[in-house]
Structure 1
Amino acid sequence: MVPLNFPSYALRFKNRENKALVFDIIRKKYVQLLPEEWVRQHCIHYLIQEKKYPAGRMLVEREIRVNSLSRRVDLAVCDTDGRFLLLVECKAPDVPLNQEVFDQIARYNFPVRSACLMLTNGIQHIYCQIDYEAGKYLFLKELPDYSELRQML
């Protein structure tokens, strides 16, 4: 797998039936190591270790309803009341973070109204806070840590 723009983490790997697997500490199981999963696992560790997001508040590949359609959120962080604080869209490193990707996470966010969005392909990261009253996205240079994000609600 390609090097990513995240710190290095001690991920656990194994092979089964000629497939590379990586251990997901949130789902507590080995999952197939695909490029998008490589990015997601680094993002999970980044949020926990660098930004102090509690692992127990993370949801991975959680189903949500968007205009009566079933969609899966790559990664989300909720508060103790179940409100979404952060919604994360992970793409493979070779997928550019363009308007189409931003529109995807914006659609997924419509029913959950997260305080913050993160898009990452492991190389580039985009963060934004949402001002629902003004109907604006406020792009951030850095992702807030967990304690800062909780105060944004």
Structure 2
Amino acid sequence: MQVLNLPTYKFKIKSNENKYLIFDIIRKKYVVLTPEEWVRQHIIHYLIEEKNYPISLIAVEKKLTINNLTKRTDILVFNTKGLPHLIVECKAPKVKITQNSFDQIARYNLKLDATYLVVSNGLQHYYCSMDKENEQYVFLENIPHYSN
């Protein structure tokens, strides 16, 4: 897999029927190792190991319904009150991050009302908070540490 613009972590990877699988510590199971999953697993570990987000507050592929369509967030982090705090949209490294990527996560956030949004392809990362009053993104240098 491609080297990403994130710290490196030790992952459990195994081969099964000509596919590689990676262990997801949130879902507690092996999942197919796609380029997008590679990015997701790095970001999960980044949130836990670098930003100290508790594993118990992180959900992966959480379902939500928008306009009668079932969608899934790549990563959703809750606050201690059980409310959405951070949404992460992961793309494969070869996928360019475009306005469509931001539109997708913004649609999810209309439903979830999270404080922070992250869009990443593992090489480029965009961190922002929503200025609800002015209905715009406020781009940040990074996402806050869990204790903040």
Give the shorter-chain TM-score range: over 0.9
Quote the residue 1:151 is aligned against.
none
Does residue 108 (structure 1) correspond to residue 99 (structure 2)? The answer is: no
| Contact persistence 1:6–1:46 (CA under 8 A) | yes
Amino acid at match of 1:36: E
| Contact persistence 1:73–1:87 (CA under 8 A) | yes
Whole-Å separation in 1 of the counterparts to 2:49 and 2:131: 27
Q: Deviation string for 1:18-39 (max 9, x for gaps)?
A: 1100000000000000000000
Quote the residue 1:99 is aligned against.
99
Does residue 147 (structure 1) correspond to residue 147 (structure 2)? The answer is: yes
1:3-152 to structure 2, matched below 5 A, reads: 3-148=3-148
| Contact persistence 1:36–1:93 (CA under 8 A) | yes
Q: Deviation string for 1:20-79 (max 9, x for gaps)?
A: 000000000000000000000000000000011111100000101112221000001001
Identity rate of aligned residues, in percent?
A: 53
| Contact persistence 1:66–1:110 (CA under 8 A) | no
Compute the RMSD of aligned alpha carbons: 0.9
Report the Cα offset of residue 121 of structure 1.
0.2
Report the Cα offset of residue 17 of structure 1.
1.2
Report the Cα offset of residue 133 of structure 1.
2.6
Report the Cα offset of residue 93 of structure 1.
0.1
Report the Cα offset of residue 81 of structure 1.
2.2
Quote the residue 2:2 is aligned against.
2
Report the Cα offset of residue 92 of structure 1.
0.1
| Structure 1 unaligned spans of 5+ | 149-153
Q: Does the residue aligned with 1:146 lie in a helix, a strand or coil?
A: coil
| Structure 2 unaligned spans of 5+ | none
Q: Does the residue aligned with 1:110 lie in a helix, a strand or coil?
A: helix
Whole-Å separation in 2 of the counterparts to 1:130 and 1:89: 15
Amino acid at match of 2:7: P
